[in-house]
Amino acid sequence: MKIRQNDKILFIGDSITDAGRDRSNKMNLGQGYPLLVAAELQAFFPEKKLTFYNTGISGDRLIDLKNRWEKDCLDINPDVVSLLIGINDTSHQISKSEETDLKEIEKFEEDYRFLLKSLSQRTDARVVLMEPFVLPYPKERMNWRRELDPRIQIVRKVARDYQTDLIPLDGLFNSAGISDGYSYYTGDDGVHPTVAGHGLIKKAWLECLKE
């Protein structure tokens, strides 16, 4: 992916993207990877006059994001859209103490495809899709794999079908966690990135620009 002159770059997703942003201001980037990406791009490409938006909302599932897609994505008319969603769908299903529901998985794919289809119909945006992820720490997070893995496969399939950039965060976080310790990247819950975790996402995001 290439960054172009005057690009409007939008980050959208759940709490990992939200990262404590001021939700009254879509140009407030929070304290996570969107801020880190924007800082580096603005430092290296001041001549491109880039504009950044963050419309991540903590706690969002895919259906929540779909319901606000018009207002928080399409109405911005972005040139680049970075999307990370799915871990709250996983935790919600786990909290119900039920086995994987095929209909829930099919609905996840249907809604995820809706986002990409509507985006392609309304804009010429370049897209970066990121896998939702979880680390096996604490050990109870291992139980989340049965719900998360099918959703990761859907993100991969949609990325292939729409020819988007794909950042394999689940593999990246787990590989880094094996080397450096899981809590180094997600603290005590295996989901929410530490500063190092946000740095890992930033690094992977910027590597999309080198291809």
Count of alpha carbons within 13 Å of 120, Cβ hemisphere only? 13
198 is catalytic: no
- In 3D space, the residue among 139, 163, 149 whose CA is nearest the CA of residue 100 turns out to be 149
Q: What share of the chain is helix, strand, coil (3-state, %, to 5)?
A: 55, 10, 35
Which residue has 């099918």 as its token pair? 150
124 is catalytic: no
Of 7, 14, 15, 165, the catalytic one is: 15
15 is catalytic: yes
Rg (CA), the chain: 16
Of 75, 161, 188, 189, the catalytic one is: 189
**DSSP letter string, 156-209:** HHHHHHHT-EEE-HHHHHHHHHHHH-HHHHHTTTTSS--HHHHHHHHHHHHHGG
Of 7, 60, 192, 198, the catalytic one is: 192
CA distance 71 to 118: 13
User: Which residues are known catalytic residues?
Assistant: 15, 189, 192
